[in-house]
Amino acid sequence: MIVKNLNHVNIQTRDMAGTVAFYHDLLGLEARVAPQRDPALRQWLYDSRDMAVIHLNLFGTDNTVPRDVQPGAPTGAIHHVAFECDGFDEMIERLKSRNLPFERADIPSIGLRQVFVTDPNNVLLELNFRDPA
């Protein structure tokens, strides 16, 4: 067996609407109702490949595997979640227009520019932009 790719990240939230809006407005992810679930309790966020890369659960709802989480607290051993992105300049403008604090890191030796921003649930996102070769 080999791992082919990361399938999704599950985020527990107290603010479904605000979290959906953050990911839609900033990253262009499309929210859809999770299969066989109440849309007020579960949303899946889809990327441009039609992949549900983020699953959102309203805090306090049942989970497949029960586990104590504290939305808004640091995410335990997970430091951040990274996405490969396009449109670096557009992203910087989106962040500035929303007054969202962010950090940049440039790694010219591998043609990589990174942007770090925190979502409404205190999940740190790493947005990676590669220079065309």
| Any domain includes 72 | no
- Assign 131 a pLDDT band (cuts: 50, 70, 90): confident
- Percent of the chain residues topping a pLDDT of 90: 61
Q: What pLDDT does residue 68 have?
A: 73
Q: What pLDDT does residue 91 have?
A: 96
Mean pLDDT of 13-19: 93
pTM of the model: 0.84
- Domain tally, the chain: 1
| Any domain includes 67 | no
Backbone angles phi, psi at 127, to 5 degrees: -105, 115
Q: Containing H/E element for 18?
A: helix 16-27
- Assign 3 a pLDDT band (cuts: 50, 70, 90): low
| Any domain includes 70 | no
Q: Which two tokens stand for residue 49?
A: 């490949």
Q: What is the pLDDT of residues 26-51, one digit of tens each?
A: 999 999 988 888 888 999 999 999 99
| Any domain includes 73 | no
Domain that residue 35 falls in: 9-61+79-130
Provide the mean pLDDT of the chain: 88
| Any domain includes 14 | yes
* Radius of gyration of the chain measured on its C-alpha atoms: 15
| Any domain includes 22 | yes
Decide if pLDDT at 15 tops 90: yes
CATH number at residue 118: 3.10.180.10
